[in-house]
Chain A
Amino acid sequence: MTELFFYIFSFISILTALLVVFSKNPIHSVLYLIVTFFTIAGQYILMNAQFLAIVHLIVYAGAVMVLFLFVLMLLNLNENAEPKKDLILKIVSIISSGLLFLTLTAALKDAETSQPSIATNENLGLVKNLGNVLFKEYVVPFELSSILFLSSMVGAVMLGKKEQTTNN
Chain B
Amino acid sequence: MKIAIDHYIILSTILFCIGVLGVLIRRNAIILLMCIELMLNSVNLLLTAFSTYYGDASGQLFVFFIMVVAAAEVAVGLAILVMIYRNTKSIDINFLKNLKG
Contacts and interface: CB of A to CB of B under 8 A. Distances in A.
A86 to B, nearest CB: 11
Contacts of A13: 11, 15
A44 B17 CA distance: 20
Given A64-B74, A130-B57, A100 B17 contact: yes
Given A64-B71, A113-B9, A117-B53, A94 B65 contact: no
Nearest to A113: B5
A2 B14 contact: no
Nearest to B57: A133
Contact of A120 (B37, B52, B71, B94): B52
B91 A20 contact: no
Interface string A24-51: 0010011001001100100110111101
Instruction: Give the size category of A's interface with B.
Output: 35 or more
Q: Which of B7, B17, B55 has the most CB of A within 10 A?
A: B17
Contacts of A17: 15, 18-19, 38
Contacts of A94: 21, 25
Given A20-B34, A60-B67, A67-B75, 16 more contacts: A10-B7, A29-B34, A49-B52, A52-B64, A60-B41, A75-B30, A75-B82, A75-B91, A100-B20, A116-B1, A120-B52, A130-B57, A145-B69, A148-B68, A149-B68, A160-B82
9 contacts: A20-B31, A30-B34, A43-B11, A43-B48, A49-B60, A97-B21, A105-B10, A148-B68, A159-B80
Interface of A: 2-3, 6, 10, 13-14, 17-18, 20-21, 26, 29-30, 33, 36-37, 40, 43-44, 46-49, 51-52, 55-56, 59-60, 63-64, 67-68, 71-72, 74-75, 77, 81-83, 85, 89-90, 93-94, 96-98, 100-101, 104-105, 108, 111, 113-117, 119-121, 124-125, 129-130, 133-134, 137-138, 141, 145, 148-149, 152-153, 155-157, 159-160
Q: Across chains A and B, which 4 residue pairs bring their CB atoms closest together, nearest first?
A: A93-B24, A152-B72, A159-B79, A21-B22
Interface of B: 1-11, 13-22, 24-28, 30-31, 33-35, 37-38, 41, 44-45, 48-49, 51-55, 57-58, 60-61, 63-65, 67-76, 78-83, 85, 90-92, 94
